[in-house]
Amino acid sequence: MLLRTKQDFQNSFKEFCVNTANREITKKSLQKWCQKNKVKMQHVDSFMDKHDLNHDHVIEYSEFVQFYVSTEIKENFARYDANNDQMITKQELRDGLLKAGHEEDMLDFEMNRILEKMDVNHDGQISYAEFADYFVKSNYSFDK
């Protein structure tokens, strides 16, 4: 299944939801989808394992999208994570912004703006999970 646009992701996600207002896919909703579409039930557990990234037995929209755009997210994250420790420090962010062509006199403003949006736990760095969640929300959100 090739999904690329926000609308593609939203339509596909909605197809698997029992209650689209909750924006969650559950094992039960997948089983109903399988029955309706004559798909073998053995695929339900595999689908849940692949998409339920935080292992809470529910697939949220952001997890669904992250699964399909994970390569794109990893490539973007790697541009800043110079030491490959799955964290982007302030220095790595600064270096990455300079490399991307940002003006040096605007770096502090840009860094603070980015950290404010992405550093959810306020530890002064951006984890891969924070980056991936922000990437999905800013590019594929239901709310845009």
- pLDDT tens-digit series, residues 23-79: 789 898 889 888 888 888 888 888 898 889 889 999 988 888 888 888 888 888 999
Mean pLDDT of 112-132: 94
What is the SS3 assignment for 124? coil
For residue 65, the model assigns a pLDDT of: 85
Residues 98 and 131 in one domain: yes
Q: Kindly calculate the radius of gyration of the chain based on its CA atoms and give it in whole angstroms.
A: 18
What is the SS3 assignment for 126? strand
* Rounded alpha-carbon distances, angstroms, from residue 121 to 50, 54, 79, 90, 115: 26, 17, 22, 15, 10
- Mark which of 47, 68, 89 sits at the end of a domain: 68
How confident is the model over 78-109, as pLDDT tens digits? Answer: 999 999 999 999 999 999 999 988 888 888 99
Full domain range(s) for residue 10: 6-68
CA distance 129 to 144: 21
Number of domains present in the structure of the chain: 2
CATH number at residue 114: 1.10.238.10
Query: Which residue reads 């991307």 in tokens?
Result: 100
